[in-house]
Structure 1
Amino acid sequence: MIPLSVVQALSARRYAPLGRLGVQEIAVLRVDTARRADDPERDWIGFAATLTPDDLLKALRGWWRCDAASVAAGGVLPVTLSGYVVAVLTGLERWEKNTEGRHAFPEARLTGYVTDLATPKITIASTADSDRQLAELLLGTRLTSHSGGAIAYVPTNATAH
Structure 2
Amino acid sequence: MTIPTFGSSTTLAQPETITRHAAAVQLGITHKSLSMLITAGILTEPLLRADVDALAARDRLVGRSGELTVLRIGALTPASDPGRQFIGFAADIDDQQLADATLGMWRANPERVIGNRLYAVAMRTIPVALFAITGCPNIDAPLVDDSGKLRYRFDGELLARIEPAAGRPGQPTSTAENTIDGHGVVPSSFWVRSTVDASSPYRAAVEAIMTSRIAVDSGGPVGYLSGPA
Name the TM-score class by shorter chain.
Answer: 0.7 to 0.9
Identify the residue that residue 205 of structure 2 maps to in structure 1.
Answer: 134
Matched, 1:4 2:73: no
Gapped regions of structure 1 (runs ≥ 5): none
1:124-158 CA-partner distances (Å, limit 9, x unpaired): 24678234443233113111112221101222238
Identity %: 25
1:39-86 CA-partner distances (Å, limit 9, x unpaired): 664332111110111111111121211222222221101111001111
Conserved? CA contact 2:119–2:133, under 8 Å: no
Match 1:72 to one of 106, 111, 114:
114
Conserved? CA contact 2:113–2:133, under 8 Å: no
SS of 2:193's partner is strand
Identify the residue that residue 157 of structure 1 maps to in structure 2.
Answer: 228
Distance 2:133 2:203 in 1: 13
Name the larger-Rg structure. Answer: 2
Identify the residue that residue 121 of structure 1 maps to in structure 2.
Answer: 191
Counterpart amino acid of 1:90? A
Match 2:71 to one of 9, 29, 35:
29
Report the CA distance shift for 1:115/1:157 in structure 2 as closer, same or farther (over 3 A): farther
Distance 2:104 2:93 in 1: 16
**CA-atom RMSD, angstroms?**
2.6
TM-score, normalized by length of structure 1? 0.79
SS of 1:108's partner is strand
Identify the residue that residue 152 of structure 2 maps to in structure 1.
Answer: 103
Residues matched between the structures, number: 154
Distance 2:216 2:113 in 1: 14
Distance 1:68 1:153 in 2: 13
Match 1:112 to one of 160, 170, 195:
160
Counterpart amino acid of 1:109? E
Counterpart amino acid of 2:151? R
Counterpart amino acid of 1:80? A
Report the CA distance shift for 1:36/1:113 in structure 2 as closer, same or farther (over 3 A): same
C-alpha displacement at 1:108, in angstroms?
1.7
Whose strand proportion is higher, 1 or 2? 1
SS of 2:114's partner is helix
Distance 1:153 1:89 in 2: 14
TM-score, normalized by length of structure 2? 0.58
Gapped regions of structure 2 (runs ≥ 5): 1-19, 21-46, 165-185
C-alpha displacement at 1:5, in angstroms?
2.6
Conserved? CA contact 2:130–2:206, under 8 Å: yes
